[in-house]
Amino acid sequence: MFCTIVAFAQVTTSNIKGLILDETQQPLPGVNVVAIHTPTGTVYGSATNFDGRFNLLNLRVGGPYKITLSYVGYKEQIFNEIYLTLGKTEEIDFAMVPDSQQLDAVVLTGTSSTGTFGADRTGAETNVGRRELTRLPTISRSASDFTRLEPTASNGSFGGRNDQYNNFSLDGAIFTNPFGLDAATPGGQTDSQPISLDAIEQITVSTAPYDVTQSGFTGAAVNAVTKSGTNEFHGTVYGFFRNEDLTGGKVSGEDVVKPKLEQNQYGFSIGGPIIKNKLFFFANFEKDERTDLGTNGFIPNTGSGAVNESRVLEQDLITVQNALLDIGYNPGAYEGFTYGAKSNKGIFKLDWNINETNRLAVIYNYLNASKEKPAHPSALGFRGPSVNTLQFQNSGYEINNNIRSVQLELNSTLSDEASNKFQIGYTHFDDFRNPLSTPAPTITITKDGSNYIIAGHEPFSINNKLDQKVLQFSDNLNFFKGDHTFTIGLSFEKFQFDNSFNLGAYGARGVFFPTTTMSDFQNLVDSGQLQDLFDAANAAHNSLTANGEGVAGGFTLSETNVGQMSFYAQDEWNVNEKFKLTYGVRFDKPLYFDSAEKAQEVIDRGFVVPDIEYYNPNTGERVLIDNTQLPSNQWLISPRLGFNYDVKGDKTFQVRGGSGLFTGRFPFVWLGNQIANPDVFFLQAVDPDYKFPQVWRTNIGTDYKLENGIILTGDVSYTRDTNGAHVQNWGYCHHRQA
């Protein structure tokens, strides 16, 4: 099973900063700066400090904004149509004009330049806004169709790292898969999208952000924020349909099979004011229904010579089907059947301008998704459906991914010199499998040394479920002093995984070794052994069900508790008008809570031989493995340094870069398996000296704007593993000598 983690301290807002000078080009303190988000009337205010600088942090993304500069004895300056990019800073540098000059108030109109040029951009990153989200083509209506615009993207991987090492966040809550199985995002096992594209406002992909508040990745940080309501009511209604007739039928001039397919997606969004300028709502609901051919397009061999004809003879399938029906078991169809998938998801968001200094957002989202699938195609040898192997319909299973999540974010302006962002959230993930088969053994029939026909119970779907409860919070305090913006913060996250996995519980035959060959299948039937296998599977099911979960003689159940506590500090220093330096350090401490005690509970009721010696291939020593001994919980330190140099001072040519350590999470399935599987047949463990993954990443980049407006960007990045994962078989020598 897989799980999803939610944590905070990720990017959800934007900033406006600037330097205000007088007519002699000297810093002008005390200038009143007011930014109004015109769609909602939300007001953000500050005043310039002694060095003429102002800071407006944690603003809503998008726009437009109206920015007003005012000071006694000077003309009022107004900037209109300012749009903010997620996680970026809009810079307003301006020289005020005295009242004595015969000029009217100055009104400037423009758009944000922070997409590429901006003093806070250091490493490589890609931004996707509403324009791209609404205009670029997408078949799956997935965020991955847009994150692949990042130049190093490759099938979910960024910068050459496995997709499990990315950090996906939605409104600050990370939507990723730390358990480390299957897809890297929630709903991935059902091929569902956790959030509708119609609800997303902006997405950014950063592979080297030298900002210590961003964490949890050694690949890329993928941040997305959802839409919010405004002072006007807006809504959309949409629908999408496709089937196999809309799929191409030739590749390089050759005919290819087009399996049956039908998909319907439809939904709506609506947002608006509850109290004008004060309280706003946004809601989205989407439903997806899909049907696919269950055989992947392959058909039994009848001698037709069709391009999609398998080697599996139809008569052999009929023989197996009749034998199973004769003993009272229905294996399902072997051709022409379909598997279904369905999902519904929604989000409801409230934005409350409590007053001019405090803004609260509350976000609730959910996903209910399920998908019927064939038996796992490769985990226990190649099992099809393919040209070599066919499965019966009921050898498949239905996977379910259900999510409920609530998040709260409070942004506060404490004074002209300080602001704060507080986030807290709770998420419950409920993932489980429904086998399409009644209790039965797994039937694996081989021919010519390879798997041929698959029937019976899906081996990984026996009372297979994973329940997760996730609690997290973070708090970031920013304060300003002269040319410096200081950040100090902390975050905490705790994950509870309750996992039940019962591979082989209905019999080892057909799972870990074949049931029989096709030539010997009739002997299996005539001898009564096939009936014996089904009788044993039903007896095992009845006994396990009667005993319950997490007890001796019952279905397995293990609990893993893990988390992380972090502290960090950072300084953003505007050395001068062209050069900005960002430097900071982050401290992350792994937490394992009572997981050692939970491991001992499993040992006490499992089939464990504690005195078996294993072989350490690194030292040649024979060792005993203690599943209650957990990995290192030492503090991990991540220093980072970034810079941005506006070469000409006009945002047409910048050089940027940085270097530092990034600490991610390892797939918690490794730790979960250590706790859940201490018995002699499935023993797994994580080295007690193992540390969370860390990479040292250095990036240098440049951006140049041509006279015709085209921007040329180049980045060179070097990544080196500091703490990397390495898998070894410490039982190999032991079994060989035995």
Query: How far is residue 651's CA from residue 149's CA, in Å, rounded to a whole number?
Result: 23
Q: What is the pLDDT of residue 101?
A: 64
Using only C-alpha atoms, what is the Rg of the chain?
30
Q: Give the pLDDT confidence of 623-675 residue by residue, as tens digits.
A: 888 889 999 899 999 999 999 999 998 889 999 999 999 998 777 888 888 89
Length of the chain equals 738
What mean pLDDT comes out for the span 435-447? 97
**CA proximity to 220, closest of 160, 172, 294:** 160
For residue 547, the model assigns a pLDDT of 95
Tell me what pLDDT residue 734 has: 45
In order, the DSSP letters of 232-296 are S-EEEEEEEEEEGGGS--EETTEE-----EEEEEEEEEEEEEEETTTEEEEEEEEEEEEEEETTT
Which pLDDT score is estimated for 345?
Answer: 96
pLDDT, mean of residues 357-364: 94
Burial class of residue 657 in the structure, from the number of CB atoms within 10 Å of its CB (0-12 exposed, 13-18 middle, 19+ buried):
buried
Question: Would you state the pLDDT for residue 13?
Answer: 84
pLDDT higher than 80, residue 172: no
The helix (H) or strand (E) run that includes residue 733 is helix 732-737
* Tokens coding 642: 């970034």
Q: What is the pLDDT of residue 606?
A: 73
Q: What is the pLDDT of residues 10-38, one digit of tens each?
A: 677 888 888 899 888 898 988 999 999 99
* Helix 595-605 vs helix 669-676: crossing angle, to nearest 10: 40
Give the pLDDT score at 115. 63
Q: What is the CATH number of domain 14-109?
A: 2.60.40.1120
Q: Please name the amino acid found at residue 560.
A: T
CA distance 269 to 654: 40
Domain ranges of the chain: 14-109, 575-738
The string of pLDDT tens digits covering residues 76-126 is 888 888 888 887 888 888 888 888 765 555 454 443 444 688 777 888 888
For 392-428, what is each residue's pLDDT tens digit? 999 999 999 999 999 999 999 998 889 999 999 998 9
Give the pLDDT score at 104: 52
> Cβ distance 439 to 511 under 8 Å?
no
Please report which confidence band the pLDDT of residue 540 belongs to, taking 50, 70 and 90 as the band edges.
Answer: very high
Residue 8 reports pLDDT greater than 80: no
| pLDDT at position 161 over 60 | yes
pTM score of the predicted model:
0.87
For residue 132, the model assigns a pLDDT of 87
Average pLDDT, the chain: 88
Predicted confidence band of residue 219 (pLDDT cuts 50, 70, 90): confident
20 within 8 A of 34, measured Cβ to Cβ: no
For residue 273, cis peptide bond before it (omega within 30 degrees of 0) = no
Could you tell me the sign of the dihedral formed by the alpha carbons of 438, 441, 447, 449, in that order?
positive
Q: Which residue has the higher pLDDT, 563 or 104?
A: 563
Q: For residues 5 and 426, give the distance between their C-alpha atoms in angstroms, rounded to a whole number.
A: 10
185-214 per-position pLDDT tens digit: 778 888 888 889 999 999 989 888 899 988
- What is the structure's pLDDT at 478? 93
- In this predicted structure, the answer to whether residue 257 has a pLDDT above a threshold of 90 is no
